[in-house]
Amino acid sequence: MNDLSTIRSSDPHWIVHLETQDDAMLRKLTALGILPGNQIAIEQRFPSYIVTIGRTRAALDRETVQCIFVTREQRTDANSNSDSAMP
Amino acid sequence: MSIKIRYLAPIEAAITQIEIWWRSGWGQDFVDRHLSPRSFALLLLQKDPNLWEQLPGNRQQDLEQLIATTQAQISRPISLEIAQARQEFAQAIEQTTLAEPNPNQRHWGEKIHKLTVNPISGFPILVLVLYWGVYKFVGEFGAGELVDRIETFFEEQINPVVNHVTEQAIPWPSLQDLFAHEYGIITLGIRYATAIVLPVVATYFLMFSLLEDSGYLPRLSLMLDRLFKAIGLSGRAVIPIVLGLGCDTMATIVTRTLETKRERLIATFLLSLAIPCAAQWGVILGLLAQRPAALVTWAGLIVGIFLLAGFCIDKFLPGSAAQFYIELPPLRLPKIRNVITKTWVRMKWYFWEVLPLFIWASAIIWVGRLTGVFDWLISGIEPIALALGLPKETAPILLYGFFRRDYGAAGLFDLQQGGQLTGDQLLISAVVLTLFLPCIAQLQMIIKERGVKTAVLMVSFIFPFALAVGYVLNWGLNLFQISL
């Protein structure tokens, strides 16, 4: 499990965990579809991170990206939501 | 039609329990009773802060307990489970209903998206958008061309008639001044609102709606996020700051869209200190146009102060740094009809919001002149003007500049036309006026949005700071014997 900012490839990764105590931020991220069990891919890193989650595209800063933890393989304990694959 | 999403069994059980409580009288506690008991239950399970506040203490306890027992039965946080269930539901709908758009069309949108966010092509595009959209269209066309035409029309066609009718109808010259002549409500207040503010705001809102509907604004935010982080703001603040180049009063209202109180405070402060409004920079550009060295110095100083002030306030203001997350909608060709409707509605709202402020400003000038308070203030400002190396004729401009920053600039324009100012003096007064206290409409807005205490603090910093910068600038120019 690595935080998203350390991922070099642009392949989609599975979100495992969101490391934040900030409720407002958590709500915002979940509204964008950034929640455990979904897949996220990095499109660009500079000047801001651009990520895609399904059909949603979002720009995030480094601090936000660092609180998203992902794995390359889908974890069995993450969620049963295997049909939410990227288009 | 309402669609019911099924959540995990323990969550459904908790919802049922809250629905029972709702029916037994909890519903009475809340101001907004339009919610269905189910929505209300879901919000309470996620501890929605607004609803939670309205709940009496003993009920909060019951609810805490219910949430704890529910949470014990599931592995992940309740709010996450709820979001997940919704997400899956939305995806299921999507799969059954969505038709893929024309791949060619999508392809173009994608290509343009890549160009706008790639650092190599994105920054030049950003500069072009700001140059043509803000500088050329709002600044030169709106604040220059249109303002000139409407003002000339007012001065030649309307003001003489107003003056004449007022002189006939009201026998007392001092009362005539309230409505007519140089500073009257109609001849100054209404003229300013319609001749200066209206064209600026109209062109600005038109440009802004176009950027908004095309989906470019969030891309602008992401390009500038890093820069804005250095001054304690996030990419989101691009919107109010760019709006400030149109009208600072309007931009101060728009700081509401920023996430934290800290960001709103920093943005409001920077807007009042270092962001000149279109009416103002329009005139300043005109003033300094023949003196490129002075123009570059002015722009450099203001940008420098903007960045430095932001950097310092970010260092010293307590609170955590701004966060940035924004959705990037697909780029689209804006629908002209939507853009025009939006522009029109915003213009109408804005006009009725600021018109009273202009009328007040005229009335205050009238009282100030009538009672002699203004003469007294001007004689107090004269030595300050002299200390800045400015002729004493600039004293009234500095004072009236407080009522309209652009009015101050326009006053300078008259002095320059009369050949009374050197390049150095033009530069110093342009810098001081840009940094100077915000116009009275903006001050009223700061009080409304940030409170009296913050407004007083800001004003008591900005006023001496603007003069100090003017003083140091004059001293530096003299020391190195620079004449621009």
B117 contact A CB<8A: yes
Reduce the secondary structure of B149-179 to three states and give it as a string.
Answer: HHHHHHHHHHHHHHHHHHHHHCCCHHHHHHH
Architecture label for domain A2-68:
Roll (2.30)
DSSP letter at B418 equals T
Encode pLDDT of B211-255 as tens digits: 989 999 999 999 999 999 999 999 999 889 988 888 888 889 889
Where is pLDDT greater, at B436 or A9? A9
Residues 5-34 of chain A with CB under 8 A from chain B are: 22, 24-33
Q: Which residue of chain B comes nearest to A37, CA vs CA?
A: B84
Q: Which residues pair with A17 in a beta bridge?
A: A69
C-beta atoms of A37 and B84 within 8 A:
yes
Any A CB within 8 A of B222 CB: yes
**Which member of B224, B226, B326 has the closest CB to residue A58?**
B326
Interface contact A79, partner B, CB < 8 A: yes
A53 at interface of B, judged by CB pairs closer than 8 A: no
Confidence at residue B476, expressed as pLDDT on a 0 to 100 scale: 94
Looking at B97, B115, B134, the residue that finishes a domain is: B97
Contact criterion met (CB < 8 Å) for B235 and A61 = yes
Question: Quick check: is B86 in a domain?
Answer: yes
Q: List chain A residues with CB under 8 Å of B321.
A: 63
Is the CB of B222 less than 8 angstroms away from the CB of A48? yes
Q: How many domains does chain B have?
A: 2
What range defines the domain where residue B60 resides?
9-97
The pLDDT assigned to A87 comes to 38
Q: For the sheet with A49-53, list strands across it.
A: A2-3, A68-71, A13-18, A39-44, A49-53, A56-60, B325-327
Q: Which amino acid is at B375?
A: D
**Smallest Cα distance from A48 to chain B, Å:** 6
Compute and round to an integer the Cα radius of gyration of chain B: 28
Domains of chain A, residue spans: 2-68
Q: If you average pLDDT over residues A20-31, what whole number do you get? A: 83
User: Which stretch of A38-47, B141-150, B300-309, B413-422 has the lowest confidence by average pLDDT?
Assistant: B413-422
Asked whether the beta carbons of residue B79 and residue A27 sit closer than 8 angstroms, the reply is yes
Residue B261 resides in a domain = yes
Angle at B199 between CA B194 and CA B204, to 5 degrees: 135
Q: What is the mean pLDDT of residues B55-70?
A: 90
3-state class (DSSP) for residue B422: coil
How does pLDDT run across B140-174, given as a tens digit for each residue?
888 888 988 998 898 899 999 999 999 999 999 88
Looking at B97, B119, B144, which one is the last position of a domain? B97
- How far apart CA A86 and CA B335 sit, in angstroms, is 30
**B313 domain residue, yes or no:** yes
Confirm whether the ipTM is greater than 0.95. Answer: no
A52: left (phi over 0), alpha (psi -120 to 50) or beta: beta
Q: Is the CB of residue A45 less than 8 Å away from at least one CB of chain B?
A: no
Is B1 among the domain residues? no
Instruction: From chain A, pick out residues whose CB is under 8 angstroms from the CB of B118.
Output: 44
Position B481 scores a pLDDT of: 86
Give the tokens for residue B73.
């039965």
Which of A9, A10, A5, A38 minimizes the C-alpha distance to B80?
A: A38
B257 in a domain, yes or no? yes
The lowest-confidence range among B44-53, B457-466, B469-478 is B44-53
Are B401 and B407 in contact by the 8 Å Cβ rule? The answer is yes
Tell me whether A82 touches chain B (CB under 8 Å).
no
What pLDDT shows up at residue A79?
45
B261 at interface of A, judged by CB pairs closer than 8 A: no
Q: Tell me the percentage of chain B whose pLDDT exceeds 70.
A: 96
Dihedral (CA of B467, B469, B254, B460) sign: negative
Pick the closest to residue A4 from A81, A60, A46, A55 (CA basis).
Answer: A60
- Closest-CA residue in chain A for B234? A61
CB contacts of B326 in chain A (<8 Å) are 58-59
Q: Please, what's the b/e burial string for B387-425 (b: 16 or more CB within 10 A of its CB; e: otherwise)?
A: ebbbeebbbbbbbbbbbbbbbbbbbbbebbeeeebbbbb
The mean predicted confidence, pLDDT, of chain B is: 88
A58 at interface of B, judged by CB pairs closer than 8 A: yes
Give A20 or B261, the one with higher predicted confidence.
Answer: B261
Mean pLDDT of the region B444-472: 93
Beta carbons within 10 angstroms of residue B18's beta carbon: 21
The reply to whether B231 falls in a domain is yes
What is the C-alpha separation between B200 and B84, in angstroms, rounded? 46
pLDDT of residue B284: 82
pLDDT tens-place string over residues B73-128: 998 888 888 988 988 898 889 889 988 767 777 788 899 999 999 999 999 999 99
Picking from B47, B65, B97, the residue at the C-terminal end of a domain is B97
pLDDT tops 90 at residue B54: no
User: Binning pLDDT at 50, 70 and 90, where does residue B466 land?
Assistant: very high
Tell me the per-residue pLDDT of A54-66, one tens digit each, with 9 for 90 and over.
Answer: 889 999 999 999 9
Q: What residues of A are in contact with residue B224 (Cβ under 8 Å)?
A: 47
pLDDT attached to residue B2: 66
Q: Determine which of B121, B325, B328 to mutate to test the interface with A (most A C-beta atoms within 10 Å).
A: B325
- The pLDDT of residue B230: 92
Q: Does the pLDDT at position A82 exceed 60? A: no
Q: Within a domain: residue B20?
A: yes
Contacts of B369 (CB under 8 A, 6+ apart): B177, B183, B375
The per-residue pLDDT for B42 is: 92
Q: Which of A28, A37, A38 sits opposite B325 (nearest CB)?
A: A28
- Per-residue pLDDT tens digits for B271-305: 999 998 877 787 788 788 888 899 999 999 999 99
Identify the DSSP state of B126: H
Distance in Å from the first CA to the final CA of chain A: 24
Cα separations in angstroms, B353 against A63, B358, B478: 39, 10, 45
| Partner-chain residue, chosen from B80, B225, B325, that has the shortest CB–CB distance to A47 | B225
C-alpha closest to that of A37 among B87, B73, B327? B87
